[in-house]
Structure 1
Amino acid sequence: MLRLIRYLKEYKLESVLAPLFKLLEAAFELLVPLVIARIIDIGIVNKDSKYVINMGILLVSLAMIGLTSAIIAQYFSAKAATGFGTKLRDDLFAHILSFSHAETDVLGRDTLVTRVTNDSDQVQNGVNRFFRLVLRSPFIVAGAFIMSFHIDAKMSLIAFTVIVILAIIVAFIMSKSIELYRNVQRKLDKVLGKTGENLTGIRVIRAFSKESSEILEYNNATKDLYNDQVLVGNISALLNPLTYVVVNLGIVAILQTGAIQVNIGNLTTGQVVALINYMSQILVELVKFANLIILLSKASACAKRINEIFDIKSSISGGSDELNLKDFDGEIIAFENVGFVYPKSKEEALSDITFSVKKGETIGIIGGTGSGKSSLINLIPRFYDISRGSIKLAGRDIKEYSLESIRKNVALVEQKSRLFRGNIRNNLLWGDAKASDKALYEAADIAQAMDVINSKEGKLDSEVAMYGNNFSGGQKQRLSIARSLVKKAGILILDDSSSALDYATDSRLRKAIREIENVTTLIVSQRIVSIKNSDRIIVLDDGRIVGIGTHDELLENSPIYKEIYNSQIMAKEDSDEE
């Protein structure tokens, strides 16, 4: 928790003023029982109505000053805590975005979302409550005890005994609840992950009529979370009743002992009432302070989870050189004996990959499912780092270039097209924020997306829903390709990004892309028709290159390529016959 204090740096004044004004409020509260004692012992006993009225005005004044102090303290506390939470979430989100795919694969999306949202909120609430009670509650407890001691030293021993017993109760409950809160957060991660998985795959679930089994699994996860929440809730719930029992017993002891002292003349009635009021103040503030400690325990558990994310550093760091493909001629890409292993995997996904690509070439990549096609192309923009061998861009090791310059020169269109909420223009401008509408339309024309834009009333300003759900799969693919073309990068990678397009549209797209000058294109596809006209084709099988050549060369020399070709030709003939 202490490591996150740096996010309060810009709120030093608020961080000081909030507890100080709460302290001022507490100071005036401590005076109230003394005023009430005087009203009883002087005003009421002497039947002095004027004195009672004056003391009543004083009580109202103390209440108004205390209320003003409380409002000011709440304002400063809320401002500091909100600013703290905002900066924490911003920094945490930026840190997560710095991770390579390796880190995000290991951590999982659900736990990252939980830590940016729920965990951050818990820590923010802890900070807010801390400012409000960190000085007030201990000050009132200590002050009430001192005031009690000032009234009667022997009677104050009762208050001291109550404080000690309550401290033991709070320590016990806190020790039991901290680890349980951590378990609750971990199981919340699991529930959120299951929620996201089911919502994302709802169509598959319905297609296989798996609603019942998924509901059962979800119910089991939520029941497990519920059981832990009930357990920690029950332990925390012991705090109030135990506290009230102890304090009320203390009040009974004060009433019994005080009655005897009043009877023998050692104490006045007003002093006994003041002692009871101070005991009540101790009760209220100890309950608040105990709840604060429990809340801080929860916030501490969440802060630890957040710090775990901050402690993780990206396994990929960029170099200092800038990649510039415009002025380079020769081998743009070169893989030399590359091997790659995914995190937590024992076997290589890619083994002994060696090939080179010249500037302006179009390279096709084909292979069966799980052959390593996507794994290979993900190494070029350094989403992952290789386990062995080397990758060179423009004749130099890829690790010598900054990540920003690499990704500026590489445009990747993934198989699963992703659009972001906003409008078509905003999505296309991801490729180049300064691009003109003319450039956007040119890119859309090459990507065969003009009919998508023109079919919408708002054209470029047409709305894009979350995940692009108001567009079909083919429309999203074409807009994603257009977005990458706006980037005008030297390397264009299409990772099976035309799978949702019909053959005619796919053909026009490939023809338009071939006409772009000085662009090196890598096309990953399951369709031979999409890559047959490439300058060279790489055939992958089980993470290894089993063939490189033109379409005709591979038909003669590569059994795997020929098998894929024959299966697709036969499938097309069967389809034509139908």
Structure 2
Amino acid sequence: MKTVFSYAKPYKWPIFIALFLMLTELSVELIQPLLIAKIIDEGILAEDVTVIWTWGSVMMGLAFVAFFSGVINSYFAAHAAQSFAFDLRQALFRQVQAFSMATFLRFPTAGLITRLTSDVTMVQNVLFMGLRIMMRAPLLVLGSLVMAFVVNVKLAFYLVIGAPILLIFLFIMARKGVGYFSNVQRRLDRVNRVIQENLQAVRLIKAYLRGMYEASRFSRVADKLRHDTVKAMRMMELILPVLLFVMNVSLMAVLWFGAVEIGNGEAQVGELVAIVNYAMRMTGAFSMFAFIIVAFSRAKASAERMEEVLVANDDLELNRSESSGLSQLEGELRFEHVSFTYPGKPEPILDDISFHVAPGEKLAIMGATGSGKSTLLNLIPRIFEATEGKIFVGGTEVNEWSLKDLRDTIGLVPQQSILFTGSILDNLSWGDTEAAPDELEEAAKKAQIHESIDLFPQKYGTRVGQKGVNLSGGQKQRLSIARALVRKPSILILDDSTSALDVKTEMALWEALEKEAATMLVVTQKVQTAKGADRILLLDEGKVVGYGTHADLMRQSQLYQKIAQSQAEEEVIVDGEEHS
């Protein structure tokens, strides 16, 4: 918890003021029984009205002090808690942005969402309640005991008898609570994951009529969350009855022996009233302990989960983002005996990959699903680090480039087109925030999307729904390509990014891209597209099984011959259907 609550340090003055006001309010509450005893013994029993009015007025004045202290305390406590939560959430989000992909994959997406939302809220509430009432409860118990001994040592002793038992009991319950509520938060992660998967695949679910199945799947994980939450809360519910039982026994002992003491003339009525008053305050404070332990247990579990993210600094990209001093060179690319294995996996995804792409050349990458094509592309901008071998960009090994300088030379179009909520203009500008409007339009024209945009009522101001839900697959792919072209990259990476385009549009796109000075790496399944490349890299199970021009591979590679033959047969069938 230390790491998480370190983000409260900038707000030490609001916290200090809130604590001071809380202690002021507490002090008034502890003084009141003494004043009540004085009014009873020296005013009511002595029939001295002056004492009653004098100390009654003092009590009223102190009550107003406590009231205003409580109001102002709430303001400063809320300010500190809200600001702390804002900084903590910002720090978590920045940390996630700084993760390398290897680190990112250690945390489920749903778990990260829970950490940034409900976990932050848990610790925020504990800080606020701690400054408002949670710290006040144990201090009230301790202060009431001390003041009881000040009033009458013998009677106060009966209040102390149960204290060791209660302390041991509360310590055990707090430890158990942390474990139980850690399980609850993990269950909440699973619920969030199911919700996230369901919302992302809503079209497929509706198309396959799997709504009832998904509802039952959600019911199962939600029921486990309910079961663990009920289990934790039932255990926490034992706290209050035990506390009240012990305190009520102590209170009965005070009343019994207090009456005896008064009868013997060894105690005054006011003293007994004061001791009972302190006992009642302790009982009320102890009744808060069940809530405090629940809140603390949940907050501690949440803090430990957030700390996992905050201290995961073994492989942060921001640590490698300072400028390397290398200028942006022509997009030469060279792989020398490169291998890659995912963390925790026994078998390599890529094995001994070597090839060379000269500046301005176009390399087509082909292979079956799972052959390592996308993984190979991810090694170039160092989204993943090669396990063995060396990769050179512009004649310089990639590890000598800073991430900023390296990635500034690269335009990446992923296999799945990702668009962000906002306008078309916002999504294009995402590639380069300093690009002028005419540069954005020029990139759109090259990507063959300008005419489609021009047909929208709001043109470039048209809003794009979440993940581009209101656009077709081809439109999303072309917008993604335009966004990459805005960067004016030296290396343009297209990871199967034209699969949704018709033949005519794709041909126009390649014709426009021929005028680009960028070195291009194109993942494709189409032999027709690969023919237009300077060279073709053929992968199979992570190994290079063919490298050369289309003509070279047609002579040398049986796998490439089979691919070309199967696609030629498909074209013949399509032509036959068209002419029938």
- TM-score normalised by structure 2 residue count: 0.94
Letter in 2 for 1:69: S
The 2-side partners of 1:558 and 1:102 are apart by 35
**1:531 partner SS:** helix
CA separation in 1, counterparts of 2:267 and 2:574? Answer: 104
Q: Match of 1:546?
A: 545
Kept after mapping to 1: 8 A contact 2:236/2:290: no
2:83 maps to 83
1:467-505 Cα distance to aligned partner (Å, 9 max, x none): 222222221111111111111111111111111111111
Moved more, 42-51 or 276-285: 42-51
Moved more, 250-259 or 381-390: 250-259
| 1:47 Cα deviation from its structure 2 partner | 5.1
Instruction: Name the CA distance, whole Å, in 1 between partners of 2:163 and 2:68.
Output: 29
1:297 counterpart residue number: 297
Per-residue CA deviations over 1:188-226 (Å, capped at 9, x if unaligned) read 222222221222123333444444443333322222222
Native 8 Å contact 1:332 1:395 kept in 2: yes
Aligned to 1:430: 430
Q: Which amino acid aligns with 1:33?
A: P
Calculate percent identity across the aligned residue pairs: 37
2:328 touches 2:405 (CA, 8 Å); kept in 1?
A: no
What amino acid sits opposite 1:97 in the alignment?
Answer: Q
1:348-427 alignment, distance < 5 Å = 348-427=348-427
User: For residue 95 of structure 2, what is the aligned residue in structure 1?
Assistant: 95
1: distance between equivalents of 2:486 and 2:223? 49
Distance, in Å, in 2 between the alignment partners of 1:46 and 1:188 is 64
For residue 105 of structure 1, what is the aligned residue in structure 2? Answer: 105
Aligned partners of 2:144 and 2:281 also within 8 Å: yes
Give structure 2 stretches of 5+ with no counterpart. none
Match of 1:324 in 2: 327
Q: 1:523 matched to which residue of 2?
A: 522
Q: Distance in 1 between matches of 2:465 and 2:213?
A: 30
How do 1:89-488 and structure 2 match up within 5 A? 89-133=89-133, 135-289=135-289, 291-315=291-315, 318=320, 321-326=324-329, 328=330, 332-488=332-488
SS in structure 2 opposite 1:448? coil
Distance in 1 (CA, whole Å) between partners of 2:49 and 2:60 is: 16
Q: How far does the alpha carbon of each residue in 1:42-97 deviate from its partner, in whole angstroms, 9 at most, with x for none?
A: 44435555654544433332221111111222222222222222111111211111
Residue 343 of structure 1, CA deviation: 2.0
SS of 1:501's partner is: coil
- Label 1:424 to 1:149 Cα distance change in 2 as closer, same or farther (>3 A): same
Once the 2 structures are TM-superposed, how far is the Cα of residue 417 of structure 1 from its aligned partner? Answer: 0.8
Where 1:571 maps in the other structure, the secondary structure is helix
Aligned residue in 1 for 2:26: 26
Q: CA separation in 2, counterparts of 1:350 and 1:139?
A: 62
Bigger shift: 185-194 or 376-385?
Answer: 185-194
Deviation at 1:134, TM superposition (A): 6.2
Conserved 8 A contact 1:324-1:409: no
Aligned equivalents of 2:51, 2:461: Cα separation in 1: 75
Letter in 1 for 2:451: D
| Alignment-mate amino acid for residue 112 of structure 1 | L
Partner of 1:6: 6
The alignment partner of 1:149 has SS state of: helix
CA deviation profile, 1:435-482 (whole Å, cap 9, x unmatched): 111111001111111133222222222212222222222211111111
Cα distance between partner residues in 2 of 1:574 and 1:63: 92
What is the one-letter code of the residue matched to 2:16?
Answer: V
Question: SS at the partner of 1:511?
Answer: helix
Is contact 1:390–1:397 with CA below 8 Å preserved after alignment? yes
Distance 1:83 1:138 in 2: 26
Distance 2:108 2:525 in 1: 28
Tell me the SS of whatever aligns to 1:572.
helix
Give ranges in structure 1 of 5+ residues lacking alignment.
Answer: none
Change in 2 beyond 3 A, CA 1:68/1:468: same
CA distance 1:231–1:135, shift in 2 (3 Å): closer
1:333 to partner: Cα distance = 0.5
SS at match of 1:276: helix
Instruction: Give the aligned partner of residue 574 of structure 2.
Output: 575
> Residue 346 and residue 223 in structure 1: after superposition, are their counterparts in 2 closer, same or farther (change >3 A)?
same
Query: 1:56 and 1:463, CA in 2 relative to 1: closer, same or farther beyond 3 A?
Result: farther
Cα offset, 1:323, TM superposition: 4.3
Cα distance in structure 2, aligned partners of 1:376 and 1:322: 26
**Rounded Cα–Cα distance in structure 1 between residues aligned with 2:162 and 2:63:** 27
- Separation of aligned partners in 2, 1:9 and 1:485: 45
Q: Which residue of 2 aligns with 1:17?
A: 17
Q: Which is further off, 285-294 or 174-183?
A: 285-294
Q: Distance in 2 between matches of 1:385 and 1:450?
A: 37
Q: Please identify, of 446-455 and 415-424, the stretch whose mean Cα deviation from structure 2 is larger.
A: 446-455
Per-residue CA distance 1:155-193 (angstroms, 9 max, x = gap): 101111243332232122112211111122222222222
* TM norm structure 1: 0.94
CA gap of 1:210–1:135, structure 2 versus 1, over 3 A, is closer
Q: In 2, distance between residues paired with 1:38 and 1:210? A: 75
Distance 1:267 1:575 in 2: 107
Whether the 8 Å CA contact 1:100–1:314 is kept in 2: the answer is no
Task: Give the aligned residue type for 1:11.
Answer: Y
The more displaced of 487-496 and 203-212 is 203-212
Give the CA deviation at 1:299.
1.8
The answer to whether the 8 Å contact 1:99/1:314 transfers is no
Distance in 2 (CA, whole Å) between partners of 1:52 and 1:463 is: 73
Task: Assess if the C-alpha contact under 8 Å between 2:187 and 2:224 holds in 1.
Answer: yes
Corresponding letter in the other structure for 2:86? T
Cα pair distance change 1:320/1:463, threshold 3 Å = closer
CA distance in 2 between partners of 1:536 and 1:34 (Å): 93
Which range is displaced more, 182-191 or 357-366? 182-191
Q: How many residue pairs were aligned? A: 574
For the residue of structure 2 that corresponds to 1:313, the secondary structure is coil
Whether the aligned pair in 2 keeps the contact of 1:335 and 1:353 (CA below 8 Å) is yes
Aligned equivalents of 2:46, 2:324: Cα separation in 1 = 91
Which has the larger displacement, 128-137 or 219-228?
128-137
Q: Distance in 1 between matches of 2:47 and 2:527?
A: 106
Hey, what's the Cα distance between the residues in 2 that align with 1:238 and 1:567? 71
State how far apart, in whole Å, the 2-side matches of 1:39 and 1:187 are.
56
Mapped partners of 1:201, 1:124: distance in 2: 33
d(CA) in 2 for partners of 1:456 and 1:50? 86
d(CA) in 2 for partners of 1:287 and 1:449? 66
CA apart distance, 1:320: 5.8
Contact (CA 8 Å) 1:339, 1:348: kept in 2 or not? yes
Indicate conservation of the 8 Å contact 2:21/2:72, yes or no: yes
